[in-house]
């Protein structure tokens, strides 16, 4: 009975993690460039009542044994970097990545962070920055008399100035990729930082070295599928309730045992 209490308690805690993860996915269904998370679980260790192969008599062996599991635990919360759908915005400073890679941005402390969110703006110096004001790396600065901006699928940035009819290349957007993107640390604000698990950034031009292409005038939507997340949420809720019922049942059994002493 105590084993059932421990198992059911671990089950409730695990399903709470599942619900928390799914709820965060749902909350970010409209967040540009957001990547959903998946909660993974492992079973806990087992208590062996009888090992498989144990002698049951002088001439026979137990074919299966008897092992009682002691519950479950969360093993990981994994970021899923599948492609989000593109949304046309008709804003020349919006850029979506189709394929692998991350934009590189400079944080106030000088370190580099990585993002899939390409809704760029211009700061007072004419530099391309994120919505939070972080500089794009490499730095792209538009001349004051810029009348048109073109960003190619390969990251080439060209502008038309003043009364000119031809465009001039002023910079190159590069992308970073990782051996294990799931190992990146989520910082919030759609930003990621490298860890020992992700490996170092592999930087290159878009549409080369296995990196994705850029699409000007588009944004990558969240890869959250609301119907799937709602289904997962309901499943986790039902599992949470079932584990709660297991605790109630074990408690009732303990009460019955205690009443035998009277």
17-25's contacts with Cβ under 8 Å and 24+ in sequence apart are 17/74, 17/77, 18/232, 18/236, 18/239, 19/233, 19/236, 19/237, 19/240, 21/77, 22/229, 22/232, 22/233, 22/236, 23/233, 25/224, 25/229
| Residue 261: predicted pLDDT | 63
| Residue 176: predicted pLDDT | 98
Q: Is the peptide bond between 138 and the residue preceding it cis, with omega within 30 degrees of 0?
A: yes
User: 218: Cβ–Cβ under 8 A, 6 or more apart, which residues?
Assistant: 86, 87, 88, 89, 94, 95, 96
What are residue 255's phi and psi, to 5 degrees? -65, -40
pTM for the predicted model, two decimal places? 0.84
| Residue 1: predicted pLDDT | 54
Q: How many CA atoms are closer than 13 Å to the CA of 229, on its beta-carbon side?
A: 20
| Residue 211: predicted pLDDT | 97
| Residue 229: predicted pLDDT | 97
Beta bridge partners of 122: 128
**Which regions of the chain are under pLDDT 50?**
none
CA angle 165, 171, 174 (to 5 degrees): 135
């Amino acid at each position: 009975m105590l084993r059932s209490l421990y198992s059911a308690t671990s089950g409730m805690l695990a399903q709470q993690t599942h619900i928390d993860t799914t709820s965060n996915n749902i909350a970010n269904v409209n967040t540009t460039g957001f990547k959903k998370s998946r909660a993974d679980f492992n079973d806990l260790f087992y208590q062996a009542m009888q090992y498989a192969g144990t002698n049951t008599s002088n001439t026979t062996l137990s074919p299966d044994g008897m092992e009682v599991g002691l519950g479950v635990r969360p093993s990981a919360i994994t970021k899923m970097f599948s492609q989000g759908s593109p949304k046309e915005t008709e804003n020349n400073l919006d850029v979506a990545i189709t394929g692998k890679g991350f934009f590189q941005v400079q944080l106030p402390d000088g370190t580099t962070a990585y993002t899939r969110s390409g809704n760029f703006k211009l700061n007072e110096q004419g530099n391309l920055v994120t919505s939070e004001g972080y500089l794009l790396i490499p730095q792209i600065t538009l001349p004051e008399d810029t009348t048109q901006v073109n960003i190619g699928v390969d990251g080439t940035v060209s502008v038309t100035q003043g009364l000119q009819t031809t465009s001039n290349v002023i910079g190159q957007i590069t992308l970073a990729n990782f051996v294990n993107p799931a190992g990146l640390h989520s910082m919030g604000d759609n930003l990621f930082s490298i860890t020992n698990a992700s490996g170092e950034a592999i930087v290159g031009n878009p549409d080369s070295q296995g990196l994705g292409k850029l699409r000007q005038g588009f944004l990558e939507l969240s890869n959250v599928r609301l119907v799937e997340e709602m289904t997962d949420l309901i499943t986790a809720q039902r599992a949470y309730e079932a584990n709660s019922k297991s605790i109630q049942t074990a408690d009732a059994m303990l009460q019955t045992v205690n009443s035998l002493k009277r």
